Amino acid sequence: MKYFEYGKENKELVVMLHGGGVSYQGAEPTVKTVGRRYHVVLTAYDGFNPSEPETEFLSVQEEAKRLGDYIVENYGGHIDILYGISYGGRVLMEVLADKRLTITTTIADGISLKDYPNIKSKVGKDIYCSFFTGFFYIMMADPGPVRTRFLCKVTGKNPEEAERLLYRRATWKNWKNQDYCLIGKKTDYSVFGRTDMHLWYGIKGAMDKKLSANLEKLKEQGYPFRYKIFTELGHGGLAGEQPERFLEEIVFPAVSLVISGLCVLIGNWS
């Protein structure tokens, strides 16, 4: 994993996790804007980094551990705002589970609320990846004009944004490893209690409508989180296409948390 840092002169730390099967470069316009106010660490996963094409993506757990090691070593284990888009939400959940870290505010944008199937055998996992991972590999690993247009329709993105995101040098092994490590793994939503948790969904495209299908069910189970639906945006639309608004939106949860804390203190004093 490699780390690109912006706004080092700023005190508060924002860590941004990009989606699966794509490059970190899709977030560059946004992190440059966010870097005006925050110290931003933008991650680049192994196996999906244009500057390190020889690296291999082993698992979500390994990527999260490497990030945790980096934050502990360089920033005392504290993150002010942790943001993950799409598959980056899977990495985000593992980072939240790292007890070495303290994370004030967390935003999972377009995270899937459905677990991978509980397949035990290696053969079964291989077959599942051949079909499920294989579809996305065909659509995104080296798409032509037709598949790029389909990708834009599903995600609600424009062609320029889609082209910036796509990473055409990733191997099939790296793609497969992304999903293989999550087959049979049950998501532990109790980690929401370790942070001020926010879920975002841009439902202009078809993707987030499916990803957020279990949102109300999750809320009924009592896990602590707030959510926001962006009807006019596609999948990860803020982080990809609206840097200024993205900055405004990530500031709001942090300010809201401070106000809530002050209200608690005032209540205790009275």
Q: What is the pLDDT of residues 222-245, one digit of tens each?
A: 999 999 999 998 888 888 778 999
Pick from 193, 201, 165, 18: nearest CA to 99: 193
Gap between the Cα atoms of 34 and 214, Å rounded: 31
Report, at the CATH architecture level, how domain 2-269 is classified: 3-Layer(aba) Sandwich (3.40)
Please give the full DSSP string across 78-93, using - where no structure is assigned: EEEEEEEETTHHHHHH
**What is the predicted pLDDT for the residue at 51?**
87
Buried b (16+ CB within 10 A) or exposed e, 164-193: bbbbeebeeebbbbbbbbbbebebebebbe
What pLDDT score was predicted for residue 26?
84
Tell me how far apart the alpha carbons of residues 40 and 242 are, in angstroms, rounded to a whole number.
Answer: 17
Residue 262: its pLDDT value, please?
40
Domain residue spans of the chain: 2-269
CA distance 85 to 48: 15
Nearest to 20 by CA among 47, 50, 55, 54: 47
Q: Which residues of the chain have pLDDT under 70?
A: 253-270
pLDDT of residue 142: 82
State the pLDDT at residue 143. Answer: 80
| Cα 151 from Cα 158, distance rounded (Å) | 9
State the maximum Cα–Cα separation within the chain, in Å, rounded to a whole number.
Answer: 65
pLDDT of residue 254: 57
| Cα–Cα distance measured from residue 251 to residue 245, given in angstroms and rounded to the nearest whole number | 10
E strands of 117-250, at which residues? 196-202, 226-230
pLDDT 10s digits, 90-118: 999 999 999 999 999 999 999 999 999 99
pLDDT of residue 191: 97
Determine contact, residues 203/209, Cβ cutoff 8 Å. yes
To 5 degrees, how large is the angle CA 173–CA 175–CA 180? Answer: 85
Q: Where do the DSSP E strands lie in 130-220? A: 196-202
CA distance 92 to 18: 10
